[in-house]
Amino acid sequence: MTTLVHVEITAANAAETASFYADVLAVESNTSPFIANYLILTGTNGPVGAVMGNSYQSQATIAWFAVDDIEAALERALAGGGKTFGQISTIPGQGKLSYVSDPNGTVFGLRQPE
């Protein structure tokens, strides 16, 4: 079963934007130990999203979905007219992930949890 698991917000000034969301949502903003210019927004129940520099992606927001098999999901995306961006990456403690777009060019993320 697929679930929405994460939302990324892109910004010209990621730190300033993350601080804004942290204040408004009453969450913490912490720099990622794995990705430069990427700040994780964390609430009482864990991460709720992130703010990243728009040099990574220019789309304003990006939804991330958990899937059981990332390779199979990417194959289905390609078969349906979507596109992938680079190789599948692995983030320790998170799992495998990849950006993909639908046939209209809307970017979203797929994550196969560890």
Could you tell me the residue ranges of all domains in the chain?
3-113
Distance between CA 67 and CA 65 in Å, rounded? 6
Could you tell me which CATH class the domain 3-113 is placed in? alpha beta
* 14-45 tens-digit pLDDT: 999 999 999 988 899 999 998 999 999 999 98
pTM of this structure: 0.81
Mean pLDDT for 41-70 is 92
